Amino acid sequence: ETGVTQTPRHLVMGMTNKKSLKCEQHLGHNAMYWYKQSAKKPLELMFVYNFKEQTENNSVPSRFSPECPNSSHLFLHLHTLQPEDSALYLCASSPEGGGNIQYFGAGTRLSVL
Amino acid sequence: AQSVSQHNHHVILSEAASLELGCNYSYGGTVNLFWYVQYPGQHLQLLLKYFSGDPLVKGIKGFEAEFIKSKFSFNLRKPSVQWSDTAEYFCAVRPYDGGGSQGNLIFGKGTKLSVKP
């Protein structure tokens, strides 16, 4: 148990659906991250939030929409996704922005049909 | 663009064999270096890190890594692997820019290690 909880663990959605991924951290950290993990590719940083403010958007398509209502919660809203968006989506947190040591959740395995 | 290269996609070893996983990065400035491990079905967790000081760092479960600045390398080693070391291993680098600000973590593609009992 890392103190970073992601729900759901698995998600199957059609290309016209709207769904949301949730991440919650119980570590008192101020920075949270979304990563995309695809087979045979490096982890791709998607978004960074530091003290609830988005500090990084790594050229992510607008069909992915993050939300950070407070330092403990991070959402990733999904709409009109493509099959190539199927991947493991990882949330991480760290004491401050910039990374230091990041603590990862177990991820949400997303399949887009 | 900065990048991290892990030379082996999949390594298969027998128990008690020695392990060395390669990691090279492309950045000429100051870096922090990390190895993360992902056991089957589990979350990514930190194995060891290098920030400064002794370039030979020791992590959990008998792993160690050596930072060789001249080679831009941070190879992971373990003298004798166990079946429970079967996992995927990720090298990561965090560069500092010229102003001393920390960049984001940059990950390699990962190396899958399979240890045969």
Is pLDDT above 90 for A110? yes
Name residues whose C-beta falls within 8 Å of residue B58's C-beta, 6 or more positions apart in sequence.
B48, B64
Residue B111 contacts A where some CB pair is shorter than 8 Å: no
Task: Render each residue's pLDDT in chain B as its tens digit; 117 residues.
Answer: 789 999 889 999 999 999 999 999 998 888 999 999 999 988 999 999 999 899 999 999 999 999 999 999 999 999 999 999 999 999 999 988 766 667 788 999 999 999 998
Q: What pLDDT was estimated at residue A81?
A: 93
What are the C-alpha distances in Å from B9 to residues A36, A52, A105, B6, B59? 19, 37, 23, 7, 22
pLDDT above 70 covers what percent of chain A? Answer: 96
Give the mean pLDDT of A84-92. 96
Q: What pLDDT was estimated at residue B1?
A: 72
Partner A, chain B 78-107, Cβ-Cβ below 8 Å: 90, 94, 101-107
* Distance separating alpha carbons of residues A42 and B85, to the nearest angstrom: 21
Task: Tell me which DSSP letter residue A72 carries.
Answer: T
Q: What pLDDT was estimated at residue B99?
A: 65
Spatial CA neighbour of B111 closest among B28, B5, B30:
B5
* B43/A41 CB distance under 8 A: no
Is pLDDT above 70 for A97? no
Q: What pLDDT was estimated at residue A3?
A: 93
* B109/A106 CB distance under 8 A: no
Q: What pLDDT was estimated at residue A13?
A: 92
Q: What pLDDT was estimated at residue A39?
A: 85
Residue A10 contacts B where some CB pair is shorter than 8 Å: no
* A99/B94 CB distance under 8 A: yes
The partner residue sitting opposite B109, judged by closest CB among A42, A45, A102, is A42
Residue type (1 letter), A111: S
Q: What pLDDT was estimated at residue A82?
A: 94
* A43/B94 CB distance under 8 A: no
Partner B, chain A 87-106, Cβ-Cβ below 8 Å: 90, 92, 98-102, 104-106
* A101/B42 CB distance under 8 A: no
Beta bridge partners, B46, equal B36
The partner residue sitting opposite B102, judged by closest CB among A42, A98, A107, is A98
Query: Is residue A87 within 8 Å of residue A60, measured between CB atoms?
Result: no
Query: Is residue B95 within 8 Å of residue B34, measured between CB atoms?
Result: no
**Taking all residues of chain A, what is their mean pLDDT, rounded to a whole number?**
92
**Strands, E assignment, B1-117:** 4-5, 10-14, 19-21, 24-25, 31-38, 44-50, 56-58, 64-68, 73-78, 87-95, 106-107, 111-116
Is pLDDT above 70 for A76? yes
In chain A, the largest separation of any two C-alpha atoms, in whole Å, equals 38
Tokens of B75: 């190879």
pLDDT in tens, A8-62: 999 999 988 899 999 999 999 999 999 999 988 889 999 999 888 888 888 899 9
- Please report residues of A whose CB lies closer than 8 A to that of B95: none
Name residues whose C-beta falls within 8 Å of residue A27's C-beta, 6 or more positions apart in sequence.
A3, A4, A93, A103
Name the phi and psi angles at A78, rounded to 5: -120, 135
Q: What pLDDT was estimated at residue A44?
A: 93
Q: What pLDDT was estimated at residue A96?
A: 76
- Please report residues of A whose CB lies closer than 8 A to that of B94: 98-99
Spatial CA neighbour of B107 closest among B74, B71, B61:
B74
Q: Which residue has the tokens 């949400």?
A: A108
